[in-house]
Amino acid sequence: MTALSPSPASLVDGFGRRIDYLRISVTDRCDLRCRYCMAEKMTFLPRKDVLTLEEIAIMADRFIARGVRKIRLTGGEPLVRRDFGDLAHRIGRHLSTGALDELTLTTNGTRLAEHTDMLVRAGIRRINVSLDSLDPDIYRHITRGGDLAGTLAAMDVARRAGLAIKINAVALRGLNDQGFLDMLRWCDAQGHDLTLIETMPLGAIDEDRSDRYLPLSKAVEQIEQAHPLAPLPYRSGGPARYFQPQGMGIRLGLITPLSNNFCAGCNRMRLTCEGKIFMCLGHEDHIDLKAAFREGGADAIDALLDRALIRKPLAHEFAISDGQTGGQTQRHMSVTGG
């Protein structure tokens, strides 16, 4: 493989934060319609507006050359993209050269079984699976039709193949808020770390997010009655703070963008499937790499990365309380990438 050409400077924003983590949404499409993420009837991007595999790979190359050490492939559901395996292998080649430390994936698990071997061959060793309930009826309601048994079976295939699995569960008041302890104990039995996430105001959906918002302090109260939590220094590269539940061999992560935001240590940028860099999940401000690349080629990318660094904000402006939703973006999470 040809070595990446060096760039003049690593990615450091105006607040001195080093950006070494890139999340790439490879598609805005998904085969589920989770209520906190999407409207039931979605209008997806025309295929002509979506980056090609080659364009994503070249943009990833430039980020890696500028110091990105970890890339997470997301969506939508990334495994619905027909050429996903080719892209994963193309980016995964940087693992063998030492230019990239880790390539990971976030998935809803519906297509995991059929793609597990490909993921392993591409160099992916760790994945996040979105799973908000172990109750089949609640899971079906949240996902608007998802099959829990199929997803659990697919995860078992991935676990037996050696993939480390972390479960991501969005805390939803009145839906899954009585199941956190059961979920934690199931994860411990399976050997999966668990991360709980507060719902975020991203895109217009069919429900009022303020009705479903649950600060994770409520989940922690429920868990600590049975398993006191001890803080851990472990970091996965993302925003979660990790804890050791007493008597368990797994880690519990908490992502609290609303009740206790993590912006001061942000090390991330996001590249959407239509080639836009969003410097912050909670802001609409972006840089259009696709237009620049299609007009000026790879050389046009670095200057725009420098511009993005200058414009990266200090913090998001998310807020949910008493029936009010603040800082809401117009784009859905599936467009930006989870």
What is the rounded distance in angstroms from the CA atom of residue 122 to the CA atom of residue 89? Answer: 5
What is the rounded distance in angstroms from the CA atom of residue 107 to the CA atom of residue 96? Answer: 24
DSSP state of 263: G
Q: Is 200 annotated as a binding residue?
A: yes
Q: Is 130 annotated as a binding residue?
A: yes
Q: How far is CA 136 from CA 142, 159, 172, 176, 219, in A?
A: 10, 21, 16, 11, 21
Q: Is 29 annotated as a binding residue?
A: no
Q: Is 30 annotated as a binding residue?
A: yes
What is the rounded distance in angstroms from the CA atom of residue 314 to the CA atom of residue 118? Answer: 38
Place of tokens 């000026």: 296
What is the rounded distance in angstroms from the CA atom of residue 63 to the CA atom of residue 4? Answer: 10
Q: Is 37 annotated as a binding residue?
A: yes
What is the rounded distance in angstroms from the CA atom of residue 334 to the CA atom of residue 338? Answer: 7
Q: Is 81 annotated as a binding residue?
A: no
In b/e form, how buried is each residue of 309-325, taking b as 16+ CB within 10 angstroms?
beebbebbebbbeeeee
The span from the first CA to the last CA of the chain, in angstroms, equals 30
Q: Is 329 annotated as a binding residue?
A: no
Q: Are 282 and 330 a contacting pair, CB within 8 Å?
A: no
Question: Containing H/E element for 165?
Answer: strand 164-171
Closest-CA residue to 197 (of 106, 248, 258): 258
DSSP state of 323: T
Q: Is 273 annotated as a binding residue?
A: no
Q: Are 252 and 193 a contacting pair, CB within 8 Å?
A: yes
What DSSP string runs through 23-52? EEE--S--S---TTT--SS--PPPGGGSPP
Q: Is 187 annotated as a binding residue?
A: no
By residue count, the chain amounts to: 338
Q: Is 166 annotated as a binding residue?
A: yes
CA 186 from chain centre, in angstroms, equals 22
List residues forming the annotated binding site for S-adenosyl-L-methionine: 36, 76, 130, 200
List residues forming the annotated binding site for GTP: 23, 72, 106, 166, 268-270
List residues forming the annotated binding site: 23, 30, 34, 36-37, 72, 76, 106, 130, 166, 200, 263, 266, 268-270, 280
List residues forming the annotated binding site for [4Fe-4S] cluster: 30, 34, 37, 263, 266, 280
